[in-house]
Chains A and B, each alone.
Chain A
Amino acid sequence: MIPLPPPKPEILARRDAIIAALRTLVPGEGVIGDETRLKPYETDGLSAYRQPPLAVVLPTTTEQVAAVMRYCHGNGIRVVPRGAGTSLSGGALPLADAVVIGLMRMNRILEIDFDDRLAVVEAGVTNLGITKAVEHEGFFYAPDPSSQLACMIGGNVNMNSGGAHCLKYGVTANNLLGLKLVTPEGEIVEVGGDHLDTAGYDWLGLMTGSEGMLGIVTEVTVRILRGPEGARAMLAAFKGTEIAGAAVDAIIGSGIIPVALEFMDKPCIHACEAFAHAGYPLDAEAMLIIEVEGSVAEQDFLLARIKEICARFDPISLKVATSAEESMAIWKGRKGAFGAVGRISPDYLCMDGTIPTGELPFVLKRIGEMSTQYGLQVANVFHAGDGNLHPLIMFDANNPASFRAAEDFGADILKLCVEVGGCLTGEHGVGVEKRDLMHVQFQPHELAQQRAIKTAFDPAWLLNPHKVFPLEALPQ
C-alpha cells in the first residue's frame, strides 16, 4: 500500500472549530462534518485506497472557494479538491487532516457561443453535460474520457483527460481557452481567456494536468467543435499482435488519421465477446477497431483505403460497418471492455502507460510473460494511434497477497513502458497510485525542478500535498 503523510495532530484537535468556521464561509448545507456523510468522500475510482477527510465543503461560487482557501491557508490546513471522484489514480483521495473542496454544486453553464465556438462552464459541469448542451446545433466537446457521463470538467482540466478520440481531436489541454481559478493563497485569477494563444507564460497549459496541486479551477472556457457529417467503424482481426501493429503503422504511414484506432488483445477480445456478443473473431490474436468521419462518400472512400491496407496483412476478418447500427455493434464490445473484464474478475486494476507504438508487440509479449510470473490474468486495450496502453490486471481483493501482486505487476508494466521510451501515465494521471514510481521516469533533480514550481504556487504545500511527488521531499 502507498503511504499517506501523517496528519497534523493540532489540526485534528481543532476539528470542531474548523468546521464551525467553514460553516460561516459556506452557509446552508455546504459543509459536511459528520462521519456517515463523509463516507462517500473517502475514496474515488481507485477504491483500494480509502481515507475520510476532516470535512467536506461544497461551495456554490468562486468567491466561496476563495474564502475557504484563504481560511485554510491562514490556518495551515491542507486542502484536497474533488470533482466527481472518478479518478483512477487516486487524484481525489483525501487526507485525515484535509478539507475536501467538492466542486459538484458549481454546475452551471454560463455561456455558449456557437459563432465563436466556445462555452464557459463551471468546474462541476460534467464532460458529457457540455456536449449535451451544444449538440442540438451539431456541436460537441471533443475529449471523451470513458467516465464522461460522470466526470467533471474541473477534474478533466486537472488531469488533462484524454479519451478514445484524441488521435484526431487532442486531449483536454488542446481544447481549452481559459480558466478561472483560486490560488492556494485564496486569490481569484483568470488565465487564458476567450481567445486563442495569450501572450506571456502559459499558465493555462501549466495548470492543465497539474492534478489539483497548483490551484482550484472554478470556471473553464472550452472550445466546442462542429461535429462531422457522420462516422463509421470497421473491424480488422489478425493472427498476431506484430501483424496488427504493422497494419497500424501502414494506416498511419498512408496519411490517414482515423478518428479512433483501438487495439484489443486476445484475452480482451474473449472477455468482450462473452459479455457483449459483438461478433468478435475468437481465433484472432489481435483486433483493431478503426473509425473514420465525414460524409457517407468520404467514409466509404476512407474505409475502402484502410480495408485495402489491412488486406495486405493476411487478416482473419475484415468487417466494414454499412450503417450506424453496425458501427455501434462493432463498438459495443470495446465500450463494454471494463465491464466485461469485471465479469471475469470483480477486481481489476486499470493501468495507463504510454509506449512508442512500434514497441507494442514487444511490450505485449513481456506483459504476457509477467502475467505468467505473477499468476494474474491480464487483458489489454490500447489506443493504438497514440500509444496509450490500458492493461487490466485481474486480482482478488479479498486476498491481500493478490492485491499486492497486482500492484507489483502494474508497477512492472509501467517501468517497462518507461524503459521502451514511453511514460508512466497517458491520461489517468499520477495521483497517489504512481507517485512512488516517478523516480523511474525522472531523475532527482528533475523532480526537484517540478517540486520547485509547485512551491512557487503553493509555498506551504497545503494543496493536495500527497499526490504526484514521492513523499520523502514533502516539506514538514
Chain B
Amino acid sequence: MNAPDTEAGIVDAVLAAREPLAIEGNGSKRGLLRPVQAAETLSTRNLSGITLYKPTEMVLSARAGTPLPEIEATLAERGQMLAPEPPDTHALFGVRQPATIGGIVATNLSGPRRINAGSIRDHLLGIRFVNGRGEVVRSGGRVLKNVTGLDLCKLLAGSHGTLGVLTEITMKVLPATEATATLKVAVPDIATGIRALSAGLTSPYGITGAALLPMGPTALLRLEDFAESVTYRAARLREDLARFGEVSMVEAPESRLLWRSIRDADPINGGPDHAIWRLSIRPSAAPALVAALQEAFAARLLLDWGGGLVWVAGPATEEAHQAVLAATIAARGSYTLFRAPEPLRAAVAVIPPEAPALAAIAARVKAALDPAGLFNPGRMRAGQ
C-alpha cells in the first residue's frame, strides 16, 4: 500500500501509476459496493490533520485522511458538530479503524439528522482533489455561499473515489444542540407508524430524527434545540401524536444512545454472512415495500428519515437481492447493496443501473476526470 503523507506524494503516485489503483482512506468501508480490481492501493490515511477551524464562521477544513472521531472531538470542544451525523460503520463492516473525513465525503453517508439538516454533500463547502492527470483541482471554497463555476464538490461526493483522490475537505459545521428528547409512539402497524412520522415532520416543531422500528412497531421522533424549546415542543407533539398510539418520552441520555444505534443501523446488524441493503424511497411507499420484502425473505428492517431510508438485512443470495431490487423499483427508489460477502457484491448490480443517455454522459465525465481509468475501477458498476 502506498500512503503518502503529502498531497504532492499523492500527485506523484498518480503520475507514476501505470495500473489501476484502489483509492481509500482508512479502508473502513472497503466492504461497501463492489470489490475493486486493482493491483495497488493508494491511501490518504497519512494525509491527516485539521487545517482550518473557525467556529464563528462555521467552517472546518481537514486533510482527507483525518479520522472522523478527531474532527468530531475538536468540534465538540467548541460546542459544534457535523450536522448530517455520519454513521459509524465499523461494526457493520467488522473493522476497527475509524472512518476518515475523505471517506465520509466519498461515500456521502448521512445519519438520522439528514431528514432535517441535509446530507454530507449539502454541508460540503470545498474540496481539493488529485485528478487522473495528476493535477490538484480545487472546487468550492471555505465560504457558505458559493456558486462560482461547476460544483465539482457535489460530483465528487458520493463518487466512491472513482473520479479523483480527495486530499482536503472543507465542511460547514453547526452549533451542537443544547438539549434533546425523543417521543416514542407504540403504533399498531407500519403504515400507522409512517403516518405518525409524517405528522411529526409536517409539524412546525423541527423534528431532527424520525425512525421506525418494525419490532413493536415503534415510531421514534427526536427533538433537538434549546432546552426551553425542547420542553415546549415535546408537550405539543405528545398531544398531536396520541392519535397514532401510546406516546412515551425518552430523556436525553437514553435518547442519545438510541439515535446512535439507529445512525449505525445496529438493530439490523446480524452476522457477517447476512447481506445489508440501504434503500432510499418516498416515505409513503414504505409500507408496501416493507410488506414485499417481508414476504420475500426473513427481512430484518429499520426505517429512518421518516420512512424514506430503509435498512434491510437478509440472506446474501441473488434471490434476496432480486427481491430488494424489485421492491425498490416498485417504490421508484434507489438502492445500495451496502454489505455482502464478496461473491455476491461482485456478481450483482450493487446500485441501480443508469439510463442509457446518462450512462454515456457518465462515461465521458469519468474520462474527463480520470482519462486512463486509474481510480477504483468497478467500484460502483461493473466495467465503470
Residues in chain A within 8 A of chain B (CB atoms): 113-118, 138-139, 159-160, 162, 166-167, 170-171, 173-174, 183, 185, 187-191, 193-206, 208-210, 213, 226-229, 248-250, 252-257, 294-295, 297-298, 301-302, 354-358, 383, 385-388, 421-430, 434, 438, 441-442, 445-447, 449-450, 452-457, 459, 468
Contacts and interface: CB of A to CB of B under 8 A. Distances in A.
A146 B151 CA distance: 23
Given A115-B202, A173-B151, 20 more contacts: A138-B204, A170-B122, A193-B333, A198-B280, A199-B336, A199-B352, A201-B155, A208-B154, A210-B150, A226-B203, A249-B56, A255-B176, A301-B228, A426-B146, A434-B148, A438-B149, A445-B135, A449-B131, A455-B368, A456-B367
Contacts of B122: 170, 173-174
A453 B352 contact: no
B308 interface: yes
Contact of B364 (A189, A226, A456): A456
Contacts of A253: 55-56
B249 interface: no
B308 A183 contact: no
B305 interface: yes
B151 A200 contact: no
Interface string B143-166: 111111111111101110001000
Given A170-B122, A446-B137, A295 B144 contact: no
B369 A116 contact: no
Contacts of B115: 196
A205 B158 CA distance: 11
Contacts of B195: 115
A196 B232 contact: no
A387 B144 contact: yes
A351 to B, nearest CB: 13
A472 to B, nearest CB: 16
Given A424-B148, A454-B150, A196 B114 contact: yes
B229 interface: yes
Contacts, number: 253
Contacts of A256: 175
Interface in B235-285: 280-284
B76 to A, nearest CB: 13
8 contacts: A191-B358, A199-B335, A200-B158, A357-B57, A358-B57, A423-B143, A450-B152, A454-B150
B217 interface: no
Contacts of B336: 199
A200 B79 CA distance: 34
Contacts of B143: 354-356, 386-387, 421-423, 426
A195 B280 contact: yes
B151 A446 contact: no
B284 A116 contact: yes
A298 B198 CA distance: 23
A167 B226 CA distance: 18
Given A196-B305, A383-B145, A387-B145, A445 B202 contact: no
B355 A113 contact: no
A170 B147 contact: no
Contacts of A302: 226
A159 B137 contact: no
Contacts of B110: 197
Q: Which of A195, A201, A298 gathers most chain B CB within 10 Å?
A: A201
A338 to B, nearest CB: 18
B149 to A, nearest CB: 5
Given A198-B334, A200-B380, A205-B154, A452 B368 contact: yes
Contacts of A254: 175
Interface in B106-138: 108, 110, 114-115, 118-119, 121-122, 131, 135, 137-138
A208 B280 contact: no
B11 interface: no
Contacts of B354: 200
A139 B335 CA distance: 29
Contact of B145 (A162, A202, A213, A468): A162
B137 A166 contact: no
Contacts of B114: 196-197
B365 interface: yes
A197 B149 contact: no
A202 B351 CA distance: 13
Given A160-B147, A197-B334, A386-B144, A202 B283 contact: no
B135 A195 contact: no
Contacts of A385: 144
A200 to B, nearest CB: 6
Contacts of B163: 201
B16 interface: no
B148 A173 contact: no
B175 to A, nearest CB: 4
Interface in B177-212: 178, 195, 198, 201-204, 206
Contact of A429 (B118, B147, B157, B283): B147
B56 A252 contact: yes
B145 A298 contact: no
Given A193-B334, A452-B368, A386 B175 contact: no
A170 B335 contact: no
B174 interface: yes
Name the 7 nearest CB pairs between A and B, nearest first.
A205-B154, A456-B364, A255-B175, A187-B357, A452-B368, A199-B351, A426-B145
A427 B145 contact: yes
A422 B157 CA distance: 21
Contacts of B150: 206, 209-210, 213, 450, 453-454, 468
A255 B79 contact: yes
A427 B147 contact: yes
B226 to A, nearest CB: 7
B145 A456 contact: no
Contacts of A422: 141, 143
A202 B204 contact: no
A171 B152 contact: no
A190 B357 CA distance: 10
A98 B361 CA distance: 24
Given A174-B122, A226-B203, A457 B361 contact: yes
Given A357-B56, A430-B148, A229 B334 contact: no
A387 B147 contact: no
